[in-house]
Amino acid sequence: MRHLLRTPSGVIGLALVAVTLVIAAVGPAIWGQEAETVNAAAALQGSSAEHPLGTDHLGRDILARVLAGGQFTVALAFLATAIGAGLGTLLGVLPAVLPRRAGRLVTGAVNALVAFPALLLAMFTAVISGLGAKGAVLGIGIAFAPSIARLTQTLSASVASADYVAAARLLRVPRWRIATRHVLPNIGEPIILNLTAALGSSLVAMSGMSFLGLGVQPPSYDWGRLLFDGFSRIYVDPMVAIGPAIAIVAAGIGFNLLGEALARSVARAPVGGKQAVGKGAAMPSSGEEPVEGAVLSVKDLTVTFPDGVTPVRGLSLTIMPGEIVGLVGESGSGKSMTANAVGGLVAYPGVVTAGHMSLCGEELSTLSEAKRRKLLGTSMAMVFQDPMASLNPALKVGGQLAEVSLVHQGAKRPAAWARAIDRLRQVHIPDPEKRARQHPHEFSGGMRQRAVIAMGLMGTPRLLIADEPTTALDVTVQRQILKLLREVSAEAGAGALFISHDIAVVSELCDRVVVMYAGRVVEELPVADLVDGASHPYTKALLASLPDMETDRDKPLASIPGHQPSPADVGEGCAFASRCALATDRCVERPPLTRYDAAHAVACWHAETRKAEVAIG
Ligand SMILES: Nc1ncnc2c1ncn2[C@@H]1O[C@H](COP(=O)(O)OP(=O)(O)OP(=O)(O)O)[C@@H](O)[C@H]1O
């Protein structure tokens, strides 16, 4: 609501909708009688003090009729929208539920209908189903259904790629159950928000149908019908037509503005605002205030999704200039979600909160959307596992790199192109002038990853986030990319967050390791101390699962028994307890992250250390 009232369009939309709804609610009770009072002596009058919008051919006051007719107009719009929403959602979800071929047929039909003009479809349906309010409502509902079906399909497709849907599929959960349990609840909110705007459109469309004589028929009346009645006199008594026209336009614009403002305010994941985290969860390096001189200082970062899914739980992290911090943990521990939250990439309906989150000394939550984007765009570079996801296959690599300079630095095209070639050279791409003119598919996997790193270097990154950038590459190319990342971070003096599930890779590249388990940091220590100094049983288990020269190749590699709890099932106590050989009754309570020295922190009641324990938080 606060976000809604921050934009002028939100305020105007809310005010117009409030007035419309109040008129609709009380109109017939207050002005209903006056609207029906026939006075032959006052027939066809123009605007006057007594009748500001004039009178109709029976001498009825048009202003009273506009005010009293609001209820019917709004009710019809609601009904048409409800029909469109119900039918559209059904059509949108059907492809996910039906067998593949039937699903494609439905998708094809929806696509064809979306291309068909909605008003024509509404008129066609209204004429077939009989003139009058009923036919018009049905026609508009049916005309709106394809666009709502398309929206539902698009939203369903984004949810369908989520891990939990994939998991449900693997578990052979029936399709209809996946649709109703996993897909619909996650797309309900954006659909409802879109329906607010759709309400405005159906109100205007419904009035349009009545104006064309295809909708409400006398003696009933809505705003469209009043406009129809007044239109023949528009040149003589303009107010008789302008009155209902203003009502239609104001209500239509109001619902549309409110719908857009609502969608905008919900879509922006709030960063900031203190989040209550469990006792003692505090990183040694991050206090209440951002750490001085840090390129990234995050405190109590939490990411939540509906149904209590919380992949990141009160995580604190600090990265200093030139430092490479490795974020390690098994799949699903929340590493990528942490990176996405820092980069402002957590998609709706995820909500990001943090005690503070500052990049290069600037608190992200206090910046305007435009400034935040600019800061992230110029000071932070992200490299993902799949470089093709960052490169547009249809554009030349050089052009894509140059675009960063054109957009963020306002550079001219030749200068931006020259910089792109320079950056490709910097990441050791041979013959960069020629390569810049090629498309991504002409690059090898390692070269694409280099190109993405080069793209990050088009700005002046102070923070480099690399999310499993070498996983898809062969060992030799992996080494080259790791070396390059080190080089880049050293040259640019940038801090780096390197995400990996492979503790061996992390120990090769990084200065400091942060170990994550079930959304929380369980240990943080310098790489140099990893082998001898790791204290958390989970870190030790990760290290023990690494093969070395003495490993018997005939035996399977050691693995950690059991499973990490899913983000919705992390209980109150130590999340690792069920897999831990050292677990005792004490582990029912979650151990706080405890600092042993300036660089080493562990969250375990049984952490073995010879160092003096200095509890924090
Ligand atoms: N949109 C979403 N809605 C709900 N849960 C989600 C969503 N996206 C991710 N998750 C869940 O958040 C958890 C953490 O995911 P994340 O991708 O951060 O893990 P990760 O540690 O990076 O794993 P990996 O190494 O496999 O990439 C996972 O259990 C995932 O299913």
Ligand 1 centre to CA of 163 (Å) is 7
User: pLDDT at position 612, please?
Assistant: 47
User: pLDDT at position 610, please?
Assistant: 42
**Does position 437 have pLDDT exceeding 90, yes or no?**
yes
Q: Tokens standing for 247?
A: 């009502």
Ligand 1 centre to CA of 334 (Å) is 6
**Does position 161 have pLDDT exceeding 70, yes or no?**
no
User: pLDDT at position 274, please?
Assistant: 37
Mean pLDDT, residues 592-607 taken together = 87
- Other C-beta atoms closer than 10 Å to the C-beta of 514 total 28
Ligand 1 binding pocket (C-beta < 6 A) is 162-164, 305, 309, 311, 329, 331-337, 350, 501, 566-567
**Does position 280 have pLDDT exceeding 50, yes or no?**
no
User: pLDDT at position 382, please?
Assistant: 84
Count how many Cα atoms sit within 13 Å of the Cα of residue 323 in the half-sphere of its side chain.
19
pLDDT digit string (tens) for 346-405?
877 888 888 899 999 899 888 887 788 778 877 888 888 777 777 777 788 998 888 878
pLDDT digit string (tens) for 454-502?
888 887 788 999 888 877 677 777 777 788 888 878 877 889 999 998 8
From residue 370, give the alpha-carbon distance in Å to each of 333, 364, 373, 469: 31, 11, 5, 28
- Other C-beta atoms closer than 10 Å to the C-beta of 63 total 20
Q: Domains of the chain (ranges plus CATH)? A: 4-33+53-267 (1.10.3720.10), 269-360+462-548+555-617 (3.40.50.300), 385-459 (no CATH)
* Residue 315, beta-bridge partner list: 301
pLDDT band at 614; cut points 50, 70, 90: very low
pLDDT digit string (tens) for 291-332?
788 999 999 999 988 777 899 999 999 999 989 999 999 889
User: pLDDT at position 169, please?
Assistant: 60
Which of 169, 171, 304, 336 has most ligand 1 atoms within 8 Å of CB, for mutation? 336
Q: Tokens standing for 308?
A: 């209590």
**Does position 159 have pLDDT exceeding 50, yes or no?**
yes
User: pLDDT at position 288, please?
Assistant: 60
Which of 156, 163, 386, 501 has most ligand 1 atoms within 8 Å of CB, for mutation? 163
Nearest to 324, CA basis, from 561, 125, 500:
500
Ranking 38-52, 65-79, 143-157 by mean pLDDT, the lowest is: 143-157
Nearest to 6, CA basis, from 275, 429, 402, 369:
369
User: pLDDT at position 150, please?
Assistant: 85
User: pLDDT at position 271, please?
Assistant: 42
User: pLDDT at position 403, please?
Assistant: 82
Ligand 1 atom 8: residue of nearest CA: 162
pLDDT higher at 422 or 267: 422
**Does position 269 have pLDDT exceeding 70, yes or no?**
no
pLDDT higher at 550 or 614: 550
Q: To the nearest whole number, what is the mean pLDDT of the chain?
A: 83
pLDDT digit string (tens) for 526-554?
999 988 888 899 999 888 887 665 555 56
Collect all residues with Cβ–Cβ distance below 8 Å to 440 and sequence separation of at least 6: 387, 388, 391, 392, 393, 397, 448, 451
Provide the percentage of residues in the chain whose pLDDT is more than 90.
Answer: 33
pLDDT band at 70; cut points 50, 70, 90: very high
Q: How far apart are CA 221 and CA 205, in angstroms?
A: 15
End-to-end CA distance of the chain: 34
| SS3 label, residue 328 | strand
Ligand 1 centre to CA of 437 (Å) is 36
pLDDT digit string (tens) for 15-46?
999 999 999 999 999 999 999 999 888 888 88
Which of 302, 335, 348 has most ligand 1 atoms within 8 Å of CB, for mutation? 335
DSSP label of 557:
P
Ligand 1 atom 4: residue of nearest CA: 305
For the chain, the residue count is 617
Q: How far apart are CA 83 and CA 137, in angstroms?
A: 8
Closest ligand 1 atom, CA of 566? 29
Ligand 1 centre to CA of 51 (Å) is 64
pTM (2 decimals)? 0.58
Closest ligand 1 atom, CA of 519? 14
How far out from the chain centre does Cα 318 lie?
25
C-alpha gyration radius of the chain: 31
Ligand 1 centre to CA of 613 (Å) is 33
pLDDT higher at 290 or 281: 290
Mean pLDDT, residues 503-531 taken together = 91
CA dihedral sign, ordered 104, 109, 115, 119:
negative
**Does position 336 have pLDDT exceeding 60, yes or no?**
yes
Ligand 1 centre to CA of 266 (Å) is 21
Nearest to 81, CA basis, from 198, 173, 232, 1:
198
Give the largest CA-CA distance in the chain. Answer: 109
Which of 159, 161, 164, 352 has most ligand 1 atoms within 8 Å of CB, for mutation? 164
Ligand 1 atom 28: residue of nearest CA: 332
Is 454 in contact with 423 (CB distance < 8 Å)? yes
pLDDT higher at 142 or 458: 142
Ligand 1 centre to CA of 373 (Å) is 24
Is 140 in contact with 80 (CB distance < 8 Å)? yes
Q: Tokens standing for 512?
A: 């400091």
